[in-house]
């Protein structure tokens, strides 16, 4: 597509959703990016206005609009506070796809999404190679948090503190699984997600341990692909479609009661974005529609389905104090916030402490962090202050992407706080 | 368009990152919350100090460049829609609370402080800043003052103007002017601070505002009264006031709004009720108990079929949840929502409500009515679709008739949203030509090149 009229036409598809915005500006009160910049183009109302102008051809700078549209965490805080109930995330996802179709995907993104992400086997091989080479040029940043930094790569990744790629990714240690249904009588499909698989396989192992403990049968097909959100957030609809087709074909091989992930973003993507974006009348569409109600975050599954309850024991002096950060894609997208807290309380050795503004975005936002690192970090630093003021020794959350961000901001300051997934905390309490 | 050399001068004043000139950025300051056509400004500038405001305005005056001030851009009458050859002067960089004085009970703020942020800060020091416009979570203090914003507490606590002690502003030539004082009493010179309040950016640009604070009420009590007739509900409002009770909040919701809220939030509101009154009394605990009991008795006596008194904070929150949901619930029904604020003396509320019902039938447009019944400031909310010519035409005629109805009842065009450009054409109907002439003469003397938010309030 190269004709601006075609772009305007494709934006007409979301015209009704755009019109729902009454420009009241209440999104300014909650947008983490606007809080930093005070720029109307950084908040939902402004982005929606620009899309309206583009679709009316009152504005022709599509690239300029895309830049503003991309400067968004996709945290959904505006949508969950919107008085008019505007479907903001849906608008943004569809508009990013339309704009990318018009402008084209950047060569780097094309390489990453279409050359790598789209092909799970190739991606695993490349990442395995990278994991062997990663010692070169990186150095330890914070021994407690296990983070590293890299002067050599600073041109590309700034002075981020990050966890090294795992030498034993989940797809190597547990390539696939089909364990029998136990005492729970339930079979789940397990979708670990890329970050769990390649960087934090311990989260995947903890999940499998917990499921086994509760007698839940697990179906984990080999060769899982990315859930597709990184590609879609960059407007790469083609790669998204391919990933969706691959995943739905794999998971259709067996019947299951629930589809479980330990990643807030993957959960929200599978539950909401797959049915929203799958092509009409495709096989993927009917599968996505069928699975959406069965898709659950691991904590929600444990509490709502298996009825795991707080231990009720008091660990006293020995207790580890644990606080919790609400990932946007669980709390705001899916309304899941009490269950992860219950799961932390289910470990008798832990004492739960609430942090201020637990539901405020950590500032990661996937590719937002890559493109707007300074902004991302200053939003993250507010999260850090709230974590530290609890005095907790562990901050838990339900999303490996949030963990990456929180680990970075804590590590930058050598704070003595560990970052864990809630499922690891619960798994630690099980024999 | 503005020449490159002037843009450079703006950059020298506010820094490069304080000036926006790209098409996309300028587009984003072409509208506000009013249902009006956008106008794209030539540039957007963001001063960080009063001194910078002065320099910007002086430069604009020398070059006859119109200046439209903008805080959060939540204006409902188009007051922040700029001129195509003009600039938008954005105040949100100046968002410091300069001094919060709890002994003398005032607060000095920069123009871009967000209302709710200020109210929270004040509350944390054990004091109270009552004005609570619906947009308080994002609106700025300078915007509130420039529009004389109201809110739910107007009946007992007054509106923004009742809290303005002094204003420092820059005139059209870029000169610093001060008026008012930190003292409770002050009769030094013309009351320019009063003149600046509700001036909608047409007379000067605020750089510092001092606001009065008061001690917070110690106790409060909320209740919801359910009526089978709007008439009974509105008579209750009049009776409460006649009994010398001044509730802090006295809100009305009509049947259409009740059903919209119920569809939206399933709060358990009675769908068959013709009207609800939501009432809160506050003050000393003894007085609250006494007033609360009296109000409850009045409601029952005047035909409320049920009065639900909130027994605790959770129940109280529930009462106000319904009111807060009103606008959201209505907004979801149709693509365009026209929120009006024509206001009448409160004794005329029954007549105004029936006039609104008549207009809804006459123009075949759904209108949800809710609002501040206690101070006569209702919000008839017309649900329409701007893209449909016929519907939009009917809406415009309906709004015009609505103004006529309010004026015929001795009311006013706008209780709290301002005149801006949306209502400037109707101003004459209320104040007459001589008042407009007087205002224009004053404006011409103060702003000879007509650079300060031209076209607003008194037209061109």
Measured distance CA(B165)–CA(B153) in Å, rounded: 19
**Mean pLDDT, residues A146-152:** 83
Q: By percentage, how much of chain B surpasses pLDDT 90?
A: 91
Question: pLDDT band at residue A153, thresholds of 50, 70 and 90?
Answer: confident
Measured distance CA(B435)–CA(B457) in Å, rounded: 12
Architecture of domain A4-103: Orthogonal Bundle (1.10)
**Mean pLDDT, residues A43-47:** 97
Using an 8 Å Cβ cutoff, are A276 and A259 in contact?
no
Domains of chain B and any CATH numbers: 97-212 (3.30.465.10), 220-408 (3.40.462.10)
| Residue A171: closest CA among A206, A205, A197 | A197
Using an 8 Å Cβ cutoff, are B384 and B368 in contact?
no
Measured distance CA(B129)–CA(B409) in Å, rounded: 32
User: A28 to chain B nearest CA, in Å?
Assistant: 6
The beta-carbon neighbor of B25 closest among A28, A41, A83 is: A41
Measured distance CA(A58)–CA(A45) in Å, rounded: 17
Q: At what angle do helices A4-11 and A44-55 cross, to 10 degrees?
A: 120
Measured distance CA(A427)–CA(A213) in Å, rounded: 9
Q: What is the pLDDT of residue A1?
A: 56
pLDDT digits (tens, 9 = 90+) for A222-251: 999 999 999 999 999 999 999 999 999 999
Give the residue on B whose Cα is nearest the Cα of A21: B335
pLDDT of A431 above 90 = no
| Helix and strand element counts for chain B (H, E) | 14, 16
Measured distance CA(A323)–CA(A350) in Å, rounded: 10
The beta-carbon neighbor of B28 closest among A19, A29, A40 is: A40
Task: Inspect the interface and report whether the beta carbons of B28 and A50 lie closer than 8 Å.
Answer: yes
A28-52 burial by CB neighbour count: b if 16+ within 10 A, else e? bbbbbbbbbbbbbbbbbbbbbbbbb
Bridge partner list, B368:
B381
Task: Inspect the interface and report whether the beta carbons of B92 and A38 lie closer than 8 Å.
Answer: yes
Question: pLDDT band at residue A39, thresholds of 50, 70 and 90?
Answer: very high
The Cα angle at residue B448 between residues B444 and B452, in degrees rounded to 5: 85
Per-position DSSP letters for A342-365, written without gaps between them = HHHHTSTTEEE-PPTTTTS--S-T
Same fold, A170-305 and A316-428: yes
Three-state DSSP at B139 gives: coil
Dihedral angle of Cα A373, A379, A383, A384, to the nearest 10 degrees:
50
Using an 8 Å Cβ cutoff, are A43 and A34 in contact?
yes
Using an 8 Å Cβ cutoff, are A170 and A176 in contact?
no
**Mean pLDDT, residues B242-267:** 92
| Residue A94: closest CA among A14, A5, A20 | A14
Cα radius of gyration (chain A): 21
Question: pLDDT band at residue A2, thresholds of 50, 70 and 90?
Answer: low
Cα radius of gyration (chain B): 23
* Contacts of residue B275, Cβ cutoff 8 Å, sequence gap at least 6: B227, B229, B230, B232, B233, B234, B252, B253, B254, B255, B258
Question: pLDDT band at residue B218, thresholds of 50, 70 and 90?
Answer: very high
pLDDT digits (tens, 9 = 90+) for A323-365: 999 999 999 999 999 999 999 999 999 999 999 999 999 999 9
Measured distance CA(B339)–CA(B329) in Å, rounded: 13
Give the residue on A whose Cα is nearest the Cα of B324: A83
Task: Inspect the interface and report whether the beta carbons of B138 and A59 lie closer than 8 Å.
Answer: no
Q: By percentage, how much of chain A surpasses pLDDT 70?
A: 99
Task: Inspect the interface and report whether the beta carbons of B24 and A67 lie closer than 8 Å.
Answer: yes
Task: Tell me if chain A has a CB within 8 Å of the CB of B96.
Answer: no
Task: Tell me if chain A has a CB within 8 Å of the CB of B28.
Answer: yes
Task: Kindly report the length of chain A.
Answer: 431
Task: Inspect the interface and report whether the beta carbons of A84 and B331 lie closer than 8 Å.
Answer: yes
pLDDT of B216 above 70 = yes
pLDDT digits (tens, 9 = 90+) for B294-333: 999 999 999 999 999 999 988 888 888 888 889 888 988 9
Task: Inspect the interface and report whether the beta carbons of B74 and A19 lie closer than 8 Å.
Answer: no
Dihedral angle of Cα B99, B100, B106, B111, to the nearest 10 degrees:
50
Measured distance CA(A409)–CA(A162) in Å, rounded: 10
The Cα angle at residue B186 between residues B183 and B189, in degrees rounded to 5: 140
User: B201 to chain A nearest CA, in Å?
Assistant: 20
The residue among B19, B22, B26, B27 with the most chain A CBs within 10 A of its CB, best to mutate, is B27
Measured distance CA(A239)–CA(A246) in Å, rounded: 11
* Contacts of residue A71, Cβ cutoff 8 Å, sequence gap at least 6: A33, A41, A42, A368, A371, A372, A375
Measured distance CA(B66)–CA(B85) in Å, rounded: 7
Using an 8 Å Cβ cutoff, are A96 and A70 in contact?
yes
Task: Tell me if chain A has a CB within 8 Å of the CB of B218.
Answer: no
pLDDT digits (tens, 9 = 90+) for B105-118: 999 999 999 999 99
Question: Which residues does chain A have within 8 Å of residue B28's beta carbon, measured at their own beta carbons?
Answer: 39-41, 46, 49-50, 68
Higher pLDDT, B273 or A139: B273
Measured distance CA(A220)–CA(A261) in Å, rounded: 11
Measured distance CA(B190)–CA(B326) in Å, rounded: 41
Give the residue on B whose Cα is nearest the Cα of A61: B24
Task: Give ipTM to 2 decimals.
Answer: 0.94
Per-position DSSP letters for B430-453, written without gaps between them = HHHHHHHHHHHHHHHHH-TT--BS
Task: Inspect the interface and report whether the beta carbons of A40 and B73 lie closer than 8 Å.
Answer: yes
pLDDT of B340 above 90 = yes
Per-position DSSP letters for A56-112, written without gaps between them = TTS---HHHHHHHHHS-----HHHHH-TT---HHHHHHHHHHHHHHHH---HHHIII
Question: To the nearest whole number, what is the mean pLDDT of chain A?
Answer: 93
Question: Which residues does chain A have within 8 Å of residue B114's beta carbon, measured at their own beta carbons?
Answer: 29
pLDDT digits (tens, 9 = 90+) for B20-34: 999 999 999 999 999
Three-state DSSP at B46 gives: coil
Burial of B139 (0-12, 13-18, 19+ CB in 10 A): buried
Measured distance CA(A132)–CA(A128) in Å, rounded: 7
**Mean pLDDT, residues B430-444:** 97
pLDDT digits (tens, 9 = 90+) for B58-72: 999 999 999 999 999
| Residue A336: closest CA among A324, A327, A346 | A327
Domain ranges for chain A: 4-103, 170-305, 316-428
The beta-carbon neighbor of A53 closest among B25, B27, B73 is: B27
pLDDT digits (tens, 9 = 90+) for B154-213: 999 999 999 999 999 999 999 999 999 999 999 999 999 999 999 999 999 999 999 999
Question: pLDDT band at residue B425, thresholds of 50, 70 and 90?
Answer: very high
The residue among A14, A17, A40 with the most chain B CBs within 10 A of its CB, best to mutate, is A40
pLDDT digits (tens, 9 = 90+) for A49-98: 999 999 999 999 999 999 999 999 999 999 999 988 999 999 999 999 99
The beta-carbon neighbor of A24 closest among B27, B74, B114 is: B74
Using an 8 Å Cβ cutoff, are B52 and B58 in contact?
no
Tokens of residue B159, six digits:
């509106």
Task: Tell me if chain A has a CB within 8 Å of the CB of B381.
Answer: no
* Contacts of residue B335, Cβ cutoff 8 Å, sequence gap at least 6: A16, A19, A20, B384, B385, B386, B387
Measured distance CA(B397)–CA(B362) in Å, rounded: 10
The residue among A71, A84, A87, A357 with the most chain B CBs within 10 A of its CB, best to mutate, is A84
Q: How many CB pairs under 8 A join A and B?
A: 76
Question: Which residues does chain B have within 8 Å of residue A28's beta carbon, measured at their own beta carbons?
Answer: 72, 138
Count the Cβ atoms, other than its own, within 10 Å of residue B392: 16
Q: What is the pLDDT of residue B366?
A: 96
The beta-carbon neighbor of B332 closest among A26, A29, A84 is: A84
Tokens of residue A189, six digits:
């499909």
Q: What is the pLDDT of residue A127?
A: 86
Judging by DSSP bridges, how do beta strands B377-384 and B336-339 pair with one another?
Answer: antiparallel
pLDDT digits (tens, 9 = 90+) for B225-241: 999 999 999 999 989 99
CATH topology for A170-305? Rossmann fold (3.40.50)
Task: Tell me if chain A has a CB within 8 Å of the CB of B23.
Answer: yes
Measured distance CA(A319)–CA(A350) in Å, rounded: 5
Task: Inspect the interface and report whether the beta carbons of B337 and A22 lie closer than 8 Å.
Answer: yes
Three-state DSSP at B415 gives: coil
Question: pLDDT band at residue A375, thresholds of 50, 70 and 90?
Answer: very high
The residue among A18, A26, A56 with the most chain B CBs within 10 A of its CB, best to mutate, is A26
Measured distance CA(B198)–CA(A102) in Å, rounded: 46
The DSSP symbol for A113 reads I
User: B166 to chain A nearest CA, in Å?
Assistant: 27
Task: Tell me if chain A has a CB within 8 Å of the CB of B388.
Answer: no
**Mean pLDDT, residues A393-402:** 97
Judging by DSSP bridges, how do beta strands B19-20 and B43-45 pair with one another?
Answer: antiparallel
B4-40 burial by CB neighbour count: b if 16+ within 10 A, else e? eebbebbbebbeeebbbbeebbbbbbbbbbbbbebbb
Q: By a Cβ cutoff of 8 Å, what residues of chain A touch chain B? A: 16, 19-20, 22-26, 28-29, 38-41, 46, 49-50, 53, 59, 61, 64-65, 67-68, 83-85
Measured distance CA(A345)–CA(A322) in Å, rounded: 9
- What ranges in B312-426 are assigned the alpha helix state H? 313-331, 349-362, 389-408
Question: Which residues does chain A have within 8 Å of residue B25's beta carbon, measured at their own beta carbons?
Answer: 39, 41
Q: By percentage, how much of chain A surpasses pLDDT 90?
A: 80
Task: Tell me if chain A has a CB within 8 Å of the CB of B27.
Answer: yes
Would you give the distance in Å from CA B160 to the centre of its chain?
A: 9
Tokens of residue B161, six digits:
């103007």
The beta-carbon neighbor of A23 closest among B25, B33, B328 is: B33
**Mean pLDDT, residues A107-115:** 90
pLDDT of A141 above 90 = no
CATH of A316-428, picked from 3.40.1390.10, 3.40.50.2000, 3.40.50.10700, 3.40.1010.10, is 3.40.50.10700
Question: Which residues does chain A have within 8 Å of residue B68's beta carbon, measured at their own beta carbons?
Answer: none
Using an 8 Å Cβ cutoff, are B356 and B378 in contact?
yes
Q: What is the pLDDT of residue A414?
A: 93
User: B135 to chain A nearest CA, in Å?
Assistant: 7
Question: pLDDT band at residue A263, thresholds of 50, 70 and 90?
Answer: very high
Dihedral angle of Cα B225, B230, B235, B237, to the nearest 10 degrees:
50
The beta-carbon neighbor of B331 closest among A64, A65, A83 is: A83
Three-state DSSP at A290 gives: helix
């Amino acid at each position: 597509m190269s004709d601006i009229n075609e772009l305007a036409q494709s934006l007409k598809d979301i015209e009704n959703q755009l019109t729902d915005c009454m420009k009241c500006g209440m999104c300014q009160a909650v947008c983490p990016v606007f809080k930093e910049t005070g720029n109307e183009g950084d908040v939902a109302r402004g982005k929606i206005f620009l899309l309206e102008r583009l679709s009316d051809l009152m504005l022709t700078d599509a690239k300029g609009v895309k830049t503003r549209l991309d400067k968004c965490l996709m945290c959904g805080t505006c949508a969950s506070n919107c008085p008019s109930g505007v479907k903001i995330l849906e608008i943004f996802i569809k508009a990013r796809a339309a704009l990318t179709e018009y402008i084209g995907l950047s060569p780097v993104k094309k390489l990453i999404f279409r050359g790598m992400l789209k092909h799970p086997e190739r991606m695993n091989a490349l990442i395995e190679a990278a994991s062997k080479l990663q010692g070169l040029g990186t150095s330890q940043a914070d021994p407690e948090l296990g983070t590293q930094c890299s002067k050599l790569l600073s041109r590309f990744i700034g002075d981020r503190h990050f966890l090294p790629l795992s030498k034993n990714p989940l797809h190597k240690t547990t390539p696939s699984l089909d364990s029998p249904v136990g005492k729970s009588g339930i079979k789940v499909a397990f979708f670990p997600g890329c970050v769990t698989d390649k960087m934090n396989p311990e989260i995947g192992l903890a999940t499998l341990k917990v499921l086994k403990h509760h007698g839940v049968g697990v179906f984990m097909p080999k060769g899982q692909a990315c859930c597709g959100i990184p590609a879609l957030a960059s407007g790469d609809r083609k790669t998204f479609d391919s990933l969706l087709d691959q995943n739905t074909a794999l998971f259709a091989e067996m019947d299951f009661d629930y589809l479980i992930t330990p990643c807030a973003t993957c959960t929200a993507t599978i539950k909401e974005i797959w049915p929203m974006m799958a092509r009409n009348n495709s096989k993927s569409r009917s599968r996505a529609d069928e699975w959406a109600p069965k898709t659950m975050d691991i904590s929600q599954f444990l509490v709502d389905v298996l009825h795991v309850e707080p231990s009720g024991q008091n660990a006293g002096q020995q207790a580890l104090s644990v606080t919790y950060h609400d990932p946007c894609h669980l709390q705001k997208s899916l309304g899941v916030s009490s269950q992860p807290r219950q799961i932390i309380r289910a470990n008798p050795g832990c004492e739960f402490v609430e942090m201020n503004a637990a539901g405020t975005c950590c500032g990661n936002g996937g590719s937002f962090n890559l493109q707007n690192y300074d902004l991302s970090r200053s939003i993250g630093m507010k999260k850090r202050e709230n974590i530290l003021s609890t005095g907790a020794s562990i901050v838990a959350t339900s999303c490996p992407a949030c963990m990456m961000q929180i680990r970075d901001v804590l590590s930058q300051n050598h704070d003595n706080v560990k970052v864990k997934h809630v499922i690891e905390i619960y798994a630690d309490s099980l024999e | 368009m503005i020449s490159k050399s002037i843009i450079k001068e703006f950059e020298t004043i506010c820094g490069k990152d304080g000036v926006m000139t790209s098409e996309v950025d300028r587009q984003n300051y072409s509208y506000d919350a009013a249902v009006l056509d956008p106008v794209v400004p030539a540039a957007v500038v963001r001063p960080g100090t009063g001194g910078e405001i002065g320099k910007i305005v002086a430069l604009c005056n020398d070059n006859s460049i119109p200046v439209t001030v903008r805080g959060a851009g939540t204006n409902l009458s188009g007051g922040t829609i700029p001129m195509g050859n003009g600039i938008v002067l954005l105040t949100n960089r100046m968002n410091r609370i300069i001094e919060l004085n709890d002994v003398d009970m005032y607060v000095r703020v920069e123009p871009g402080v967000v209302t709710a942020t200020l109210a929270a800060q004040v509350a944390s020091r054990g004091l109270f800043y009552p004005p609570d416009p619906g947009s308080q979570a994002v609106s700025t203090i300078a915007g509130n003052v420039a529009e004389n914003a109201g809110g739910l507490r107007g009946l007992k606590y007054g509106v923004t103007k009742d809290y303005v002690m002094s204003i420092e502003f820059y005139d059209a030539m870029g000169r610093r002017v001060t008026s008012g004082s930190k003292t409770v009493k002050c009769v030094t010179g013309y009351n320019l601070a009063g003149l600046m309040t509700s001036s909608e950016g047409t007379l000067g640009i605020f750089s510092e505002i001092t606001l009065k604070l008061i001690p917070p009420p110690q106790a409060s009590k909320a209740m919801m009264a359910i009526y089978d007739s709007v008439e009974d509900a509105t008579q209750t409002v009049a009776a409460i006031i006649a009994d010398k009770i001044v509730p802090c909040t006295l809100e009305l919701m009509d049947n259409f709004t009740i059903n919209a809220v119920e569809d939206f939030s399933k709060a358990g509101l009675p769908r068959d009720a013709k009207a609800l009154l939501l009432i809160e009394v506050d003050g000393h605990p003894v007085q609250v108990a006494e007033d609360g009991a009296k109000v409850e008795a009045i409601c029952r006596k005047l035909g409320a079929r049920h009065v639900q008194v909130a027994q605790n904070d959770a129940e109280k929150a529930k009462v106000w949840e319904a009111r807060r949901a009103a606008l959201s619930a209505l907004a979801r029904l149709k693509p365009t929502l026209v929120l009006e604020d024509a206001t009448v003396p409160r004794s005329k509320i029954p007549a105004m409500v029936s006039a609104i019902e008549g207009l809804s039938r006459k123009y075949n447009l759904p209108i949800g009515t809710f609002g501040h019944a206690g101070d006569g400031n209702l919000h008839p909310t017309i649900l329409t679709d701007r893209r449909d010519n016929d519907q939009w035409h009917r809406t415009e005629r309906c709004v015009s008739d609505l103004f006529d109805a309010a004026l015929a009842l001795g009311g006013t065009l706008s209780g709290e949203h301002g005149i801006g450009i949306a209502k400037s054409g109707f101003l004459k109907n209320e104040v007459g030509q001589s008042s407009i002439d007087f205002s224009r003469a004053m404006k011409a003397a103060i702003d000879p090149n007509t650079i300060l938010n031209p076209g607003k309030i008194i037209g061109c």
